[in-house]
Amino acid sequence: MSSEDLGFLWALLVNGASIGLMYALIALGFVLVYKATDAINFAQGEFVMLASFAAALALGIGGMPVIAAVLLAVALMIGFSFGLERVVLRPLLGRPVVAVIMATIGLAAMLRGLPPITIGGETRALPLPVGDEPVRLGAASLPPIQVVGAIVAVLFFVAFTWFFKKSRMGVAMRAVADNQQVAMAMGINVERYFALAWAMAGIVSALGGVLWGSMLGVDVHVAVIGLKVFPVVILGGLDSIGGALVGGLIIGIVESLAAGYLDPYVGGGTKDFAPYLLMILVLMFRPYGIFGKRKIERV
């Protein structure tokens, strides 16, 4: 392998990893909700889209400073997911899982329809003050926004890992995930923790939305990232935070390698194909993912 080839590989790896961290961040929102409440949120991508719209409008039309726009997006998403849990999902508690799935799919479709109806379908810019100078890492160079995204994602993972391992609230939340009835009998207000999980998913989606929207430009296509969430969480395990991180990295890198090496031969499109192929393979051989909870059976 020549040094040029190695450089190309390195560039693909670095680029894939940084995009993968973004996938991981957005998948984290999905995992938090699933872990605590057992609800499968098919509208995760649309959450991200909604946040990116909020930030873009606040910046563009509202003329707010960036920080204020980001905070507005975060506050809006917390409120939105809070309200969603209260109004839509809590009444579905104890109903078949399909009810929740259908509700979130319906919600996703509605959310995607919202921007064209209200403010028009054109793409809006969401410029963040991070400069244009690419950041060089050896042979690879990354747009600064990707570097910021990667750093934010890592920070979030560190914070959430600490929260679930070390804080009493985090331990209580895992207890709720393990057994709701017993958790309730231990004096844990289960519904409050459901709401908390959704709020946390809201925060993650908001940050993801601002970053992703800034990379892509804000329109309904931002929601497509929701489709990447599924291979990531299936790979990592639906209820594992570390799994979301590793799954995100793997999917990001696989995608990037496929695009770099296979696309020239088949003319493109392997980028969207490879993650799902991987997902199906994982489902066949390791259905609970790399880090997912296995049912504990004692013999």
Which parts of this chain interact with other proteins (CB under 8 A)? 168, 171-172, 174-175, 177-190, 293, 296, 298
CB neighbours of 129 closer than 8 A, spacing ≥ 6?
A: 66
In the complex, the smallest distance separating the C-beta of residue 298 from other proteins, rounded to whole angstroms, is: 7
In the complex, the smallest distance separating the C-beta of residue 74 from other proteins, rounded to whole angstroms, is: 27
Nearer to other proteins by C-beta: 208 or 292?
292
List, as one string, the DSSP characters of 244-290: HHHHHHHHHHHHHHIIIIIHHHHTS-HHHHHHHHHHHHHHHH-TTTT
In the complex, the smallest distance separating the C-beta of residue 88 from other proteins, rounded to whole angstroms, is: 20
Tell me if residue 65 falls in helix, strand or coil: coil
CB neighbours of 205 closer than 8 A, spacing ≥ 6?
A: 26, 29, 44, 47, 48, 50, 51, 77, 81
In the complex, the smallest distance separating the C-beta of residue 196 from other proteins, rounded to whole angstroms, is: 13
In the complex, the smallest distance separating the C-beta of residue 169 from other proteins, rounded to whole angstroms, is: 9
Nearer to other proteins by C-beta: 94 or 129?
94
Question: Long-range contacts made by residues 3-8, C-beta under 8 angstroms, separation at least 24?
Answer: 6/139, 7/138, 7/139, 7/140, 8/139, 8/260
Beta bridge partners of 140: 137
Task: Count the neighbouring beta carbons within 10 Å of the beta carbon of residue 263.
Answer: 13
In the complex, the smallest distance separating the C-beta of residue 248 from other proteins, rounded to whole angstroms, is: 22
In the complex, the smallest distance separating the C-beta of residue 26 from other proteins, rounded to whole angstroms, is: 24
In the complex, the smallest distance separating the C-beta of residue 193 from other proteins, rounded to whole angstroms, is: 10
Q: Cα dihedral angle (125, 128, 131, 132), rounded to 10 degrees?
A: -30
Nearer to other proteins by C-beta: 44 or 180?
180
Whether the CB-CB separation of 152 and 211 falls below 8 Å is answered with yes
Written as six digits, the tokens of 240 are 């594992």
Written as six digits, the tokens of 43 are 């509208």
* Half-sphere exposure at residue 255, Cβ-oriented, CA atoms within 13 angstroms: 24
Nearer to other proteins by C-beta: 141 or 189?
189
Nearer to other proteins by C-beta: 150 or 176?
176
Q: What is the DSSP letter of 221?
A: G
| CA–CA dist 218, 12 (Å, integer) | 25
Nearer to other proteins by C-beta: 120 or 187?
187
Nearer to other proteins by C-beta: 182 or 266?
182
Nearer to other proteins by C-beta: 35 or 228?
35
